[in-house]
Chain A
Amino acid sequence: MPEDLSILVSGEAGQGLQTFEQLMVRVFKLSGLHVFSYSEFMSRIRGGNNSTQIRISSQGVASCTRRIDIMVPLHEGAMERFRERITPATVILGEKEFMDRAYTGGGYPIVDMPLSRMAGEMGGQVYVNVILTGVFSGLFGVGQDLLEDQVRQAFGRTGDVRAAANVAAARMGYEKGSHLLRSGQALPVIERSDAVKEALLMNGVDAVVLGCLAGGCTFISSYPMSPSTNVLVLLARYAEEFDLVVEQAEDEISAVNMALGSWYAGGRALVTTSGGGFALMVEGLSLAGCIESPLVIHIGQRPGPATGLPTRTEQADLEHALYAGHGEFPRLILAPGTPEEGFTLTRHAFTMADRYQIPVILLTDQFYLESNCVVQHLDIPEPLYEHAVVETDPAYMRYRLTDTGISPRGVPGFGQGLVCVDSDEHDEYGFITEDAKVRTAMVDKRLRKLGAMQNECIPPTLVGPEGSRFLVVGWGSTFPVVKEALGVLGRDDLAFLHFSQVYPLPTRTVEILDRSQRRIVIENNATAQFARLIRQHTGIVFDGKILKYDGMPFLLEEVVEQLEALLERW
């Protein structure tokens, strides 16, 4: 028996899978179970087929598995896309009409649960998701009071009548689930922990948003684009509580120029977008480089080119982020792999943007943003953040040449000086110039900042022994799945190096990579962009590549099998 259990619910858009996911993971977490969930969905509002995977475990896991222990089909054809993942060990729970004939003829454990009929008795099909939450709560021994409290809380906004009806639906499911448990349905024993009850339940969106707040973000201008929109939505929800100015721009060009206007006037601004929106912001990125404005850009990656797969995941915009913008200017690119990193790095993005007066790009992706997991602790630093803004005097020069390349940054209306910034090449005051010497001095000044930034690099995280014979290298959202795969493989000659600062490459990168004999890169893209970046800057070539670009995140078993195959060859 595995020490964790994977549930997959497959339904149509509009069947309330999202509500099920949110409610279910809360209930599991509050009952002390480690929980992870990820939803994959089509770019449509009704119909099609979407699925939610929930893993419960006694230890923290945060990756998708191919293995499905319990499959719940919610409509005809719901099992079609998962045929390869259903085995004779998969329990199929739900109504027989929605189960493919291949499975109902025997050989597969079936739990007949007439969810539609039960929902009908409660007053309509809208109750299926809540009944299902009840079934699993009963099946996994969650306290009934806890479940009903959570349902009441979740539906409280819809009024007393609706909330009471949903509580009744949850109770109906709970009774069915408890009955299954009593009837001896074979289930793995998953230990509960009090620490989990007290822990935080977060997804990547929460992490980025909390990091923004901790980094002193005061201004958000953005245009909605999946999968980054929820960052905008959540910041808008917190706007009143945190005194944020949230503005939905008419396009991404406006969004990035607003962000620059806000930084200029003393705001700490974020834009959140995806690859296509970022493409529209690129002239603004270059403007940030020229006027030496801080700027924080969150890119939630999705598969391209062009519209690509709007609701799915990929890590193919690293080079887009790296090379975007005409002219030469410094930038920083960060890519978190866990909610803890997302929180820390987003806050760090604001600090670094402010301190070095550069654009900082935070690269996430749909998988990172939309997956939920349990986080024990987030460290809120003291002081929360520091403003690098100075009060100006009458002789103030915005672009004063300094050894570090950093000129003290004033804002209009704070002090007696004038703050003059120009997208044309400019002198120390900010006035237009075509003087060749000044031009050269200004380019050098801007690029000099890269040198100082090297002292504040975020080192890569090593999982496993130092100097191992084999080394897997990844960045961003692949961290949890690779880490878990290494645990499954349990080899002492294999380690994993995870980069959360992808550009500039952290110091010591060469030193660490050089210690291993064989290096494997893992990326959620088709051309191994990070491997190319490492090769360009260090000359180090990778011996193996594990790549995926079908729009889905890596599954645990895929990583395990592909690593095994590569290691076997050597």
Chain B
Amino acid sequence: MAAEFDLDHHTDVAWCPGCGNHSILAALKATLVELGLRPESLVLVSGIGQAAKTPQYLKANFFNGLHGRSLPVATAVKLTNPGLTVIAESGDGCMYGEGGNHLIHAVRRNPDITAVVHNNMVYALTKGQASPTSTRGFVTPVQVSGVCTDPLNAIALAVALNASFVARAFSGDRERTAEILKQAITHRGFALVEILQPCVSFNRVNTFQWFREHSYYLDDSHNPSDREAAFAAASQGDRFALGLIYRNTGVPAMTDCHSAYRRDNRPLFRRPADRGRIEALLNRKRT
């Protein structure tokens, strides 16, 4: 049963040994098994980057599309067949850089999908340039004098947009990551999960040890329904809060807002053609 989402064939994994992606993949597989999901009813959507290769390494339907564009695809998949479990998974460059606008509007639309963002604060597949989450002063082959912009705080952004589910995890803690992913996937609405991860090849600043020292789990005193508290937890400059940061159950899921699903929950391809309706419409053009 644990092998439910393991590939049937051998594959040559493109990730570096020690990369946080390995444990994120393991956490995701464990979560999917625990939730009793089937590969046939799961769709993984990704963009481009090392994190975006995740769908290649587990057994599921997948749509590995363009850089930055996983969320529009994932949104439409869910809107076309609400019976599918849809997870969009990509890195910080893909989700926050190239696809930043889509993230904002995906939060606003609130489709019932999960967005998993691997955040290693560097562009790894293109060999070490700054990402939107790189810290100020981070020196790269392009930012030769160091990054001179503040990192994007997507968690605070999502809280500001009144997102329905916002959480952060750390790849070094597989069990807690799996637990957070489980909550996110079962949440009805858009769930953003940012997973902090070291890049062993191109980020010598934000290392495994650095993340350990600069993160902490929110305890029971944190009320995820309290937006101000969530904002405070999201906005700490020196340390990253981990766990469920914000949950807003007051916002309807996207499919609930579409008339096509008001009376009928069947996926669009299961609905029969209706010639009569078109004839009636044509006749209205006569009078």
**Which residues of A does B touch, CB under 8 Å?**
30, 198-202, 206, 210, 213-214, 216, 218-219, 221, 238-245, 247, 249-251, 253-255, 257-262, 264-269, 283-284, 287, 291, 378, 380, 382-385, 387, 389, 411-424, 430-432
Contact = CB atoms under 8 A, between A and B. Distances in A.
Contacts of A416: 40
A261 B75 contact: yes
Query: Chain B CB within 10 Å — which of A240, A258, A268 has the most?
Result: A258
Contacts of A262: 76-77, 79-80, 268
A287 B66 contact: yes
Given A200-B286, A412-B81, A258 B76 contact: yes
B97 interface: no
Interface in B191-249: none
A221 to B, nearest CB: 7
Nearest to B268: A218
B153 interface: no
Query: Chain B CB within 10 Å — which of A210, A253, A264 has the most?
Result: A264
B253 interface: no
Interface string B84-95: 100000000000
A206 B73 contact: no
Contacts of A202: 285
Interface in B29-63: 39-41, 43, 45, 48, 53, 55-56, 59-63
B84 A412 contact: yes
B62 A284 contact: no
30 contacts: A30-B287, A198-B286, A206-B285, A216-B273, A219-B79, A219-B268, A221-B72, A241-B281, A242-B277, A250-B102, A254-B72, A255-B72, A258-B79, A261-B63, A265-B84, A267-B268, A268-B268, A287-B65, A380-B275, A383-B275, A384-B274, A387-B269, A412-B61, A413-B61, A413-B81, A418-B59, A420-B55, A421-B63, A421-B64, A431-B56
Given A258-B79, A265-B268, A412-B61, 4 more contacts: A210-B278, A266-B270, A416-B40, A422-B64
A241 B197 CA distance: 48
Given A267-B269, A412-B84, A418-B39, A378 B76 contact: no
Nearest to B61: A412
Q: Decide if the interface of chain A is mainly helix, strand, loop or mixed.
A: mixed
A201 to B, nearest CB: 6
Nearest to B64: A422
A274 B259 CA distance: 27
Given A257-B76, A258-B73, A413-B83, A384 B275 contact: yes
A433 to B, nearest CB: 10
Contact of A265 (B55, B80, B277, B279): B80
B267 A266 contact: yes
B101 interface: yes
B278 A249 contact: no
B105 interface: yes
A324 B188 CA distance: 39
A259 B73 CA distance: 8
B53 to A, nearest CB: 8
Query: Chain B CB within 10 Å — which of A219, A262, A284 has the most?
Result: A262
Contact of A250 (B11, B43, B105): B105
A424 B75 CA distance: 21
A539 B145 CA distance: 57
Q: Bin chain B's interface residue count.
A: 35 or more
B285 A200 contact: yes
B79 A413 contact: no
Contacts of B74: 261
A216 B270 CA distance: 12
Given A420-B62, A421-B62, A432-B56, A261 B45 contact: yes
Contacts of A384: 273-275, 278
A509 B45 CA distance: 43
A213 B278 CA distance: 7
A132 B79 CA distance: 47
Interface in B160-197: none
A408 to B, nearest CB: 15
Contact of A266 (B268, B274, B285): B268
B282 interface: yes
Given A267-B269, A414-B269, A431-B11, A245 B258 contact: yes
Contact of B267 (A214, A244, A413, A420): A413
Given A265-B81, A418-B40, A424-B64, A239 B259 contact: yes
- Give 9 closest A-B pairs by Cβ, nearest first: A266-B269, A261-B76, A261-B73, A412-B61, A265-B80, A257-B72, A258-B76, A267-B80, A384-B273
Contacts of A219: 76, 79-80, 268
Contacts of A291: 63, 65
Query: Chain B CB within 10 Å — which of A244, A259, A412, A430 has the most?
Result: A412
B114 to A, nearest CB: 15
Given A219-B79, A262-B76, A266-B269, A257 B69 contact: yes
B125 to A, nearest CB: 12
A409 to B, nearest CB: 11
Given A219-B79, A262-B80, A266-B268, A257 B73 contact: yes
Contacts of B83: 413
B16 interface: no
Contacts of A245: 79-80, 258, 260, 268
B79 to A, nearest CB: 5
Nearest to A246: B258
B64 to A, nearest CB: 4
A423 B277 contact: no
A254 B108 CA distance: 14
B112 to A, nearest CB: 14
A380 B63 contact: no
B12 to A, nearest CB: 10
Contact of B73 (A198, A242, A260, A380): A260
A202 B39 CA distance: 48
A200 B63 contact: no
A259 B275 contact: no
Contacts of B65: 257, 260, 287, 291, 423
A285 B102 CA distance: 18
A255 B69 CA distance: 10
A412 B275 contact: no
A415 B42 CA distance: 13
A416 B101 CA distance: 35
B279 A380 contact: yes
Contacts of A264: 63, 73, 77
A137 B200 CA distance: 80
A243 B286 CA distance: 23
